[in-house]
Structure 1
Amino acid sequence: MQRWVIGDETGLEFPADPDTLRTAGPDFLTTALRTFGVLPQHNRITAITRFEECGGGSTGRKALLDVDYAQPDDRLPTELFVKFSRDFDNPRRDRGKSQMELEVAFGALSAVTTLPVAVPVCVFADYHHASCTGMLLTERVPFGAAGGAGNPTRAGIEPHYDKCLDYRIPDQLGHYRALLASVARLAGAHRAGSLPDTVTERFRYDAATVTVGSRTHRSSDELTAQVHRLIAFAARHPALLPPSVGHPTFTARMLADVGRIAAAEDAIMAWLHTTDDHVALCHWNANVDNAWFWTESDGTLHCGLMDWGCVSVMNVAMALWGSLCSAETEIWEQHLDGLLTHFAAEFHTAGGPVLDIARLRTQLLLYAAVMRVTWLLDARAYLEAVLPDQKIDRFDPRIADKEPVRAPLLMLNNVLHLWNTEDFGALLDAFMRD
């Protein structure tokens, strides 16, 4: 079945899935790259020498392409990555189709704007808003490349790191410092006015777009029941969650906090969006799996960012959560304050205002609390359904080899760690007084 849509920006009819693109072949790719302004009229794509679908990510379908040009040019990538917003055969993956609208807009921005962060070269991007159907075609990041001359961001690139497997990454702290520096530089450049004037409006935060799936609002009784079910789950799976979860003192705090956090969600989000010095263009989901790393000749570790779905003008605390939510809990426990200070310094160096570190920390924690109550408490039911072995830990291949399992589990561990070590009741009291 052939699926085509007409793009809102280019007016070009483009494929909506890999099978249609495969059939469309070099002729469509030539037209697309010419329409996007990256391929001269006297040149063309003559052949697709590789077309391989690949998995990964939580939305849409993806494929790897290798192409030949009639007139090869170092400025034209031959190894490409194509991403579609839709997965027509998988409703769970298709529900995040709206995320690509902003990613396509960012791809178009990157094609005409010098950015302070390395991003994959975009050669075509368009989106059909009415059907949430998009296609993004970029260069393919050569993970694990041995190095060589040319663009330093393509030489000596480290292997790709999967989400929530940071215990396999050498120098985790160094990688998070590099990652947060890239997030901060883009945000700081936006606040400095170094990006086009249209960015603020085009990427204005919209909660209905920057999400996956629909939100379920629960009553106080339902939230209390969720906490009790989480405690029972922890008792049945003692190796999966922090031992503090079953402690009576912690149980009492969770029960006291959960309803208050839910009730304060709108006020917390309003505070985040109106703290002007903390609001800037940010990558929404800068986990390590959406990044690539390389080391310059001076020994400095650098980071490029990809997968810009839901990129928005938002409070930087939200971007910090998106970057750190899948880090090992030890990063939160031992290095949070240092990473916040590092982020603020890079943000200011890039042209942003001086950030109030204490306020930044509070906003990050309260946003994490909102995420905990509105989304991550639901993870318990899913984990219970897929993990019948009560002795399993998160390093078992049944967890470690499955991102849909290991990711919510680690994120849940992180928010439970914060809930246990931070006084959210006091944070809420101070927030409500202010």
Structure 2
Amino acid sequence: MVAPIDWIRGDMLGLDLPAHPQSLEQGGPDFLTRAFRAAGAIAADNAVTHITEFRDCPGGSTGKKLFLGVEYARDEPGLHRQLFVKFSRDFDSERRDAARIQMELEVRFALLSRDPNFPIAVAKCYFSDFHAETGTGILITQRAVFGENGVEPHYGKCLDYLMPDQIGHYRAIIRALGRLAGTHKAGKLSSDVERYFPFEPEKLDVSARNAYSPEQIGRRVARYAEFAKTYAHLLPAQIRDEAFIAQLADQAPRFQQMLPAVRKELMSHPDLIALCHWNANIDNAWFWRDEDGAVECGLLDWGNVSQMNLAMALWGCLSAAETDLWNAHLDELLAIFVAEFESAGGPKLDVELLHLHLALYIGEMGLAWMLDAPPLILSMVPDLAEVQDRTDPRLANRESARNQLVIMSNFLNFWRGYDYGRVLEFLTTK
């Protein structure tokens, strides 16, 4: 158990902020009024008068979360009564509390998004602040109420086969990502972006771990080959093909040897580095239809938001999509991203270069993590031999296992479809 903090002065808005739900409840409407005024969410002569809902929100990998309901002294355009509260801290769990620093960028992004001309839909920020020395923060936003008032139901990660119009939903997310990144590159966002969200790949690198040696990669490919034989019915045919696995066994260790060149290339094109969401999977969005019936979206969960190589943002969005969607629509989605990026004011991008960077990033990320998926899946689904297919509840209802299977499949499917022989030749020149 972590020693608790009750209240601490935030670094940005200068208010004492509650570090856990009990403190927030004790602060009540008086604290919420001060906080919402300080963040510009309500007018100086408006107030929170009552708390109508205060209940735990389960899940997540870091701090405590709440569903919060409020009443105001008077209505204002755009005010929400159903809110969501996220704390950086969980004083009941040392493991969860250890991840508290992840929230700092999300808090700063929420304050940035208060700009009325912000280019994409995000949950409206009512209050957000962080104390960097202790990693203590709070974020209060509009709550995305799924399945009501024209908002579609929430879609689970790696369950896209249950979602209607899959490509329509991914077009919406890709447009939002391109618009945000292009707006940043056009210099239309606050100058705080460069101060608070610099390009620091060593901090953002979610594949950071001690890199496997080429020999270790070779052994992991051999382990995957056995998994593909035993559980062939759970994998797309093209990634269990013996010729492909032999190709992977040859190319993957050589790619691993060239990681310094991969990382150098991913940092060498400023036009391909911009502020973006690194994990815009389908479960981190809410959706509605416009007057013409087209899908629109807002994006949630901005942890680790920063400037990044755009390949990271694209993989973060598409990694959990259906493999068939990758095969049928990747070129279209890249074209949509590039067009939206340029329309928002960003520089003209070379689609082929973007595609190459996507291949480099997927190669690095996949070899760092996804070849470890087979034993993880087996540990989470010990009766995997009895599972009929991906929709079998014994697999589908175990989120981490199904995620590992789908993302591994997409990594390997991309490797099979892209010419990694040409990638290796390119890297030898770097």
After TM superposition, is the score higher than 0.5? yes
1:182 alignment partner, SS class: helix
Partner of 2:423: 427
Deviations along 1:367-412, one digit per CA (max 9) or x if unpaired, are: 1111101122222232121111213232122322232222122101
1:351 to 342, 345, 348: 345
1:218-265 per-position Cα deviation (integer Å, ceiling 9, x unaligned): 223322222222222333333333345554422322222222333333
**Which of the numbers 24, 46, 62 marks the counterpart of 1:43?**
46
Q: Between 127-136 and 22-31, report the one with greater CA deviation.
A: 22-31
Residue in structure 1 matching 2:68, options 65, 68, 89 = 65
1:325 to partner: Cα distance: 0.6
Deviations 1:310-355 (A, max 9, x none): 1111221211111111111011111111111111111111111111
1:397 maps to 2:371: no
| Compared CA separation, residues 62 and 336, structure 1 to 2 (3 A) | same
Within 2, Cα distance between the matches of 1:317 and 1:68? 43
Q: 1:111 maps to what in 2? A: 114
Scaled by the length of structure 1, the TM-score of the pair is: 0.91
1:220 aligns with 2:214: yes
Distance 1:265 1:177, change over 3 A: same
CA distance, structure 1, for counterparts of residue 70 and residue 224 of structure 2? 51
Q: How far apart in 2 are the matches of 1:96 and 1:264?
A: 31
Aligned partner of 1:230 in structure 2 is: 224
- Report SS of the residue matched to 1:292: strand
Contact in 2 for aligned 1:6/1:128 (Cα 8 Å): yes
1:263/1:58 Cα in 2 relative to 1: closer, same or farther (>3 Å)?
Answer: farther
Which segment drifts farther, 65-74 or 325-334? 65-74
Counterpart selection for 1:264 from 242, 258, 263:
258
Rate the CA distance shift 1:15–1:234 in 2: closer, same or farther, 3 A. Answer: farther
Q: Give the match for residue 52 of structure 1.
A: 55
Which one-letter code corresponds to 1:142 in the other structure? V
Report if the CA contact (8 A) 2:258-2:427 is conserved. Answer: no
Are 2:1 and 1:6 equivalent residues in the alignment? Answer: no
Give structure 1 stretches of 5+ with no counterpart.
Answer: 147-155
Determine the C-alpha separation between the residues in 1 that align with 2:257 and 2:92. Answer: 37
User: Using the alignment, how far apart are the partners of 1:172 and 1:290 within structure 2?
Assistant: 15
Shift of residue 119 of structure 1? 1.1
User: 2: CA distance between counterparts of 1:324 and 1:201?
Assistant: 29
- For the 8 Å contact 1:209–1:310, the answer to whether it is kept is no
Q: 1: distance between equivalents of 2:195 and 2:428?
A: 30
Equivalent position to 2:310, from 316, 329, 332: 316
Give SS of 1:112's match.
coil
Q: Does 1:416 align with 2:419?
A: no
**Residue correspondences, number:** 425
How far has the Cα of 1:417 moved from its partner?
1.0
Matched, 1:29 2:32: yes
Give how far 1:212 is off.
5.6
Aligned-residue identity in percent: 45
TM-score of the superposed pair, with normalisation by structure 2: 0.92
- Alpha-carbon spacing, 1:18–1:259, altered in 2? closer, same or farther (3 Å): farther
Q: Distance in 1 between matches of 2:173 and 2:32?
A: 33
1:356-395 alignment to 2 at 5 Å?
A: 356-389=350-383, 390-392=385-387, 393-395=389-391
1:8-51, CA deviations, whole angstroms, 9 ceiling, x for partnerless residues? 21232222233432343323222322332333444322221111
Q: Which residue of 2 aligns with 1:166?
A: 160
Instruction: Quickly say closer, same or farther: Cα 1:110–1:417, change in 2 above 3 A.
Output: same
Local SS of the residue matching 1:375: helix
Q: How far apart in 2 are the matches of 1:206 and 1:25?
A: 38
1:149 aligned partner: none
> SS where residue 201 of structure 2 aligns?
coil
**RMSD value over aligned CA atoms?**
2.2
Deviations 1:270-304 (A, max 9, x none): 32222122222111111111112221213332121
